[in-house]
Structure 1
Amino acid sequence: MELNLDKHISGQFNKELEQVLSHVLEMGGLVENQLKDALTAMNDLDSSLADTVIANDNKVNSYETIIDEECTRIIAKRQPAAIDLRLVLAIAKTIADLERIGDEICRIVKTARDKYSNEQKQLLVDLDHMGRKVLIMLSKVLNALARMDSNEAFEVYQMDTQIDKAYEAINRQLMTYMMEDPRAIPKIMDVMWATRSLERIGDRCQNISEHVIYFIKGTDVRHFNRDQIKQTIAQ
């Protein structure tokens, strides 16, 4: 992987930056596969695959620890400035979000361990539709990170509105279902928590898009509105 970074006195410094970013993308790929497997397990009610997803969360956690140590070592050894420092900070924030996404995936996949009536399975279909949108969002933000593409990062940022609308729609359905069949409340609550986890993954993807824009443009856009971010990217 070649990054569009400033030239340094030490070529080894560039290699270190490239290596740590490569590890972030490996972590992102693992998290993406975790979400794919979680949605498959939920659709198929495959408890064995659900157990595998939960067990693999340890790998996600290990990546976070390793990359965090690499970032700390680079800061201590190289004392990076300007764009290099922004890259290290963006990476540190990104891996924290990826680790949280991994945690949310483990909550989602627990729905695969329950049994549902035919009517209740429709709830999982709706949840899967939302999950597929979130999966696209995650895939696109990782691509934006790999390509250092602020425009694609902004596309991801805007996609979160769709996720929020899907979340609200499914919650309304769940509330109606619980009122019609109070006996199903415990099971419906599991679906509700899974829906909430998907919404949070969308938020985390939006966070990562902001980190990418920060690295590229040098402006912290976390508290900007959509128009302000669009203007920042255009500069």
Structure 2
Amino acid sequence: MDNSIIKQHISRQFNNEMEDIRNKVLTMGGLVEQQVDLATKAFMSYDIESAEKVIQQDQLVNALEKDIDHECTEIMAKRQPAAFDLRMLIATLKIITDLERIGDEAARIAKMTMRLEGADYYQDKYYEIEHLLELVRDMLNGSLDAYARTDTEEVIAITAQDSKVDREYTSIMRQLITQMMEDPRNITRALDMLWTARALERIGDHACNVCEQVIYMVKGKDVRHVSREELENMVKTER
């Protein structure tokens, strides 16, 4: 963590509480990263064991969200933090909501996998999704790293990936529509792919939301719903 940004408090207990929250957010982030990987692996190779693990981990993610939420609320009520500390707590409350929703998207993929017809039905048929997964995985990992390092410079590169994710999703969708038009027997397979691709695209959006909260936390600027040019200017402008 950047000690030039995160000040040390007179109360060692306060320091410990803030560090505990940060560590729990990163633990939660690590769990949802694993969920995304396992869910997509399960979908692509009909790995029911991985799908079940994703669903089990979702309960841990939900429990962490409630725990962190409670801890942030307690600190705000008892410590009455200001400046960076207050922004960190507010940003954290929003970040854990996005992380929980990422976990939900992964769980949806896992549950859909468990409803499919079996390994013989679609073995090696979902290769199109691999590049989209790679892009989304990089975005999620980068957004969590930016939070851990309080690094707003990294945010520019991460959010730039979102347009690539959108293009990849659009390309997949067009391919699937073509396949369905050419042969109605492709409809079930195409719809399965479409729902999974949509879930991954939403995960990329949530990763961008995490990045926006990192900027708010560090610079005190609300960059939601701004253009890319405005975002870059806000990141580069010193507070």
TM-score by length of 1: 0.93
Partner residue of 2:148 out of 142, 146, 152: 146
Q: SS of the residue aligned with 1:149? A: coil
Give the Å deviation of 1:118. Answer: 8.8
CA distance in 1, matches of 2:66, 2:183: 45
Tell me whether 1:40 sits opposite 2:44 in the alignment: no
Tell me whether 1:61 sits opposite 2:79 in the alignment: no
Aligned residues: CA RMSD: 2.0
Check conservation: 1:90, 1:212, Cα contact below 8 A: yes
Tell me whether 1:158 sits opposite 2:160 in the alignment: yes
Match of 2:233 in 1: 231
Listed as ranges, the gaps of 5+ residues in structure 2 are: none
Give the Å deviation of 1:48. Answer: 2.1
Instruction: Tell me the alpha carbon deviations over residues 77-131 of structure 1, each in whole angstroms, 9 at most, x when there is no partner.
Output: 1111111110001100000000000000112234533247999656511112211
Q: SS of the residue aligned with 1:221? A: coil
Residue identity opposite 1:222 in structure 2 = R
Match of 1:25 in 2: 26
Give the Å deviation of 1:7. Answer: 3.2
Match of 1:168 in 2: 170
Identity %: 44
Check conservation: 1:44, 1:112, Cα contact below 8 A: no
Match of 1:219 in 2: 221
CA distance in 1, matches of 2:183, 2:122: 11
Q: SS of the residue aligned with 2:128? A: helix
Partner residue of 1:197 out of 187, 192, 199: 199
Listed as ranges, the gaps of 5+ residues in structure 1 are: none
CA distance in 1, matches of 2:8, 2:119: 61
Q: SS of the residue aligned with 2:24? A: helix
Runs of 4+ in 1 over 4 A off after TM superposition: 115-123
CA distance in 1, matches of 2:121, 2:233: 47
CA distance in 1, matches of 2:68, 2:199: 24
Name the count of aligned residue pairs. Answer: 235
Check conservation: 1:2, 1:18, Cα contact below 8 A: no
Tell me whether 1:49 sits opposite 2:36 in the alignment: no
Change (3 A) 1:170 1:123: farther
Check conservation: 2:45, 2:123, Cα contact below 8 A: no
Partner residue of 2:132 out of 130, 140, 146: 130
After superposing the two structures, state which structure 1 stretch, 56-65 or 44-53, moved more. 44-53
Give the Å deviation of 1:148. Answer: 0.8
